[in-house]
Amino acid sequence: MAIAAILDEAASGARPDIADELAAVAARLRRSTVQVRGRGPGGGSGVIWRPDGLIITNAHVARGPRATVELWDGRVLAATVTARDPQRDLAALAVDASDLPAAPVADSGALRVGELVLAVGNPFGVVGALTIGIVHAIGPAGEGGRQRWVQADVRLAPGNSGGPLADARGRVIGINSMIAGGLALAVPSNAVERFLRGRSERPYLGVSTRPVLVPVAGARVLGLLVLEVASSSPAAAAGLLIGDVLVGVGGRPFAEPADLAGALDDAGPGGALHLDLIRGGRRGSLSVVIARGGGGPLPPEAEAA
């Protein structure tokens, strides 16, 4: 039966079992969805990932070291940001509570295009709002993108960020992040689990950079100007210097600033990268072995590779 027909039957009351099941799924998702208020105006949503107080939201929602979380039952709790990854747009929060109604989590790798999905959040202050749609695509959004997204035609608005995208059984398969091209983009649940496992094993290069345009062969190309090289870092060991301009990896030029972070993720701790650079107006390259980053929370505005 087509999804539209199923929803029509549920709405008309012709199939009360379907209507009751959808209502039950929505109620469970609402109990596992929280309001998150971080630094600055506005706020977003979050998902209770584990009953011991672990909550997942977006990095752009939890920008500082602390946040405030309001549960479905009205309790307001102080939260600490224990990990943050701006590239993946994920943040982990910890609250001092136990036996919380954690959301069931499904394998996003098993998700198929066309599946029914539901999103819960707090758009424009409307608590626990639910919207429904189907999976449009699974993969990078736009040309040159590296990060995989669950793309769905569910309606999101400010305040939905950080909330759950769930399958028809109410199992979370993504964390809603943004709207692009009229579609909701959600970080897949498997990427969330990797983020949680790798909080102390992030690929680490040890540089701070700033995007710049540099002339190469008569054209202006994107480069990443090295502003800082951490002592005893892989970048320092490889001979990278302040003032170097990174222009690509392994002969592949950067299309956007996030490409360096994507290359680090692909290589992983212990992997090697060949960095293409410009130093003193001359092209060159360096080979660097990626290390594991330190544990603990990331700096509030960290975008460093």
Write the pLDDT tens digit of every residue in 86-114: 778 899 999 999 999 999 999 998 999 99
How confident is the model over 173-230, as pLDDT tens digits? 999 999 888 899 999 998 898 888 765 456 778 888 888 999 887 888 999 999 988 8
Q: Tokens representing 93?
A: 């929060």
> Of the residues 60, 136, 153, 285, which is catalytic?
60
Measure the CA–CA gap between 227 and 272, rounded to whole angstroms.
Answer: 22
**Contact status, residue 152 vs residue 139, Cβ threshold 8 Å:** no
Whether 167 is catalytic is no
Out of 108, 161, 189, 208, the active site residue is 161
Helix boundaries (H) for 108-250 = 189-197, 234-238
| pLDDT per position as a tens digit, 73-83 | 999 999 999 98
CB 173 within 8 A of CB 106: yes
Whether 259 is a known active-site residue: answer no
Mark whether 32 is an active-site residue: no
Contact (Cβ atoms closer than 8 angstroms) between residue 277 and residue 180: no
Q: What number of other Cβ atoms are within 10 A of residue 237's Cβ?
A: 12
Task: Report the DSSP pairing between strands 149-152 and 282-289.
Answer: unpaired
pTM, full prediction: 0.65
In the block, residue with structure tokens 């929060």: 93
- Check: CB of residue 37 under 8 Å from CB of residue 67: yes
- Of 93-102, 121-130, 250-259, the range with the highest mean pLDDT is 93-102
- Domains annotated on the chain, with CATH: 3-95 (2.40.10.10), 108-197 (2.40.10.10), 203-292 (2.30.42.10)
User: Judging by DSSP bridges, how do beta strands 90-95 and 54-57 pair with one another?
Assistant: antiparallel
Tens of pLDDT, residues 1-15: 444 555 556 555 666
> Given 32, 85, 89, 233, which residue is catalytic?
89
